[in-house]
Amino acid sequence: MKATIVGLGLIGGSFALGLRKSGLATALIGLDRNLTHAEKAIELGLVDKILPEDEALAQADLVVLAIPVNALNIFLPYVLDTVKSDAVVIDAGSTKSSICKVISSHPKRDQYVAAHPIAGTENSGPTAAFHGLFKDKTNIICESGKSSAKALDIANKVFSALEMKTIFMEAEEHDRHVAYVSHLSHVSSFLLGQTVLDIEKDEKNIFDLAGSGFASTVRLAKSSPDMWAPIFEQNSEYLSQALLEYIMHLQRFHYHLMKHDTKELHRIMSKANEIRRVLDSKSDKPIEEKKDILSKTIN
């Protein structure tokens, strides 16, 4: 199968490596609006060649779109206009309602599979890509009823080649869940980083005193604003609900701290410890139970 990867960064590059290694893709074509990224992707062997947009899309049996979600909304209709009538198009965007709406009445809607592989790091660009990024992680497919059986079959082969487990959700449900589990953690980390930069003026102190606790909590603050700003914009409604809830918890914690109510602080933290049970149990649950756990965790 000839695959075209649009967006040769962390996700697109890691897709390319997985598709090649599994043997599912026999030829890999790349597209990236950043020429340095395109050249780097060739140098790293992520793709075999870079072709002009029309050619890269028209030749593909499979197109994987791994570009920021605002760019996806603009580019996906054109991709579907251009691909062969039996090609399959999969995106990896972190929001799903907006893109599903944009594409809802496209004549080739059934060739498209709306996916979100839940795997990533704080790094971006082609040098961040690595084989195994997706291994044992969960992939979410939305509005599967609107994709053809052939498109779903190819998507299944792709995500199995990446060693992912797929669960199915409606787009709104997906956006609500990820607002709580993923997007809120990123906002929290960005703002934690910002708070420490504001309060601790001496950067050397941050460097010297940042134990692994701070480093791991603030890791996501290193993520790319180019990727995250459009995600927050598209998911602002659910993210806003999640943020208000989070702010309420922070205010409650602050209140008890000021009251020197250590017993209550202890109770709050003990309750939060529950997250260990949820996360530890997740890996050995069947897929339907996992979905259930995911919703319970965030509700």
C-alpha to C-alpha distance for 94 and 88, rounded to whole angstroms = 19
67 vs 89, which CB is nearer to ligand NAD?
67
Instruction: Indicate whether 30 belongs to the interface with ligand NAD (CB under 6 A).
Output: no
Half-sphere exposure of 1 (CA within 13 A, CB side): 22
Q: Torsions phi, psi of 93, nearest 5?
A: -60, 150
56 vs 88, which CB is nearer to ligand NAD?
56
The minimum distance between CB 32 and ligand NAD, in angstroms, equals 4
Specify whether the CB–CB gap between 67 and 34 falls below 8 A. Answer: no
What is the sign, positive or negative, of the torsion defined by CA atoms of 85, 98, 72, 298?
negative
Residues near 194 by beta carbon (within 8 Å), at least 6 away in sequence: 221
The minimum distance between CB 164 and ligand NAD, in angstroms, equals 11
CA distances from 113 to 27, 37, 243, 270 (A): 21, 26, 30, 41
Instruction: Indicate whether 32 belongs to the interface with ligand NAD (CB under 6 A).
Output: yes
Specify whether the CB–CB gap between 238 and 171 falls below 8 A. Answer: no
Measure CA 160 to chain center.
17
Q: How many residues bind ligand NAD (CB under 6 A)?
A: 31
C-alpha to C-alpha distance for 140 and 126, rounded to whole angstroms = 23
The footprint of ligand NAD on residues 220-239 (CB under 6 A) is 224, 227, 231
* From candidates 25, 63, 66, 87, binder to ligand NAD by CB under 6 A: 66
* From candidates 28, 29, 37, 183, binder to ligand NAD by CB under 6 A: 37
* From candidates 12, 18, 30, 193, binder to ligand NAD by CB under 6 A: 12
Instruction: Indicate whether 161 belongs to the interface with ligand NAD (CB under 6 A).
Output: no
Per-residue x/- track, 94-133, ligand NAD (CB under 6 A) = x---------------------xx-xx---xx--x-----
Residues that bind ligand NAD (CB under 6 A): 6-12, 31-34, 37, 66-69, 71, 75, 92-94, 116-117, 119-120, 124-125, 128, 224, 227, 231
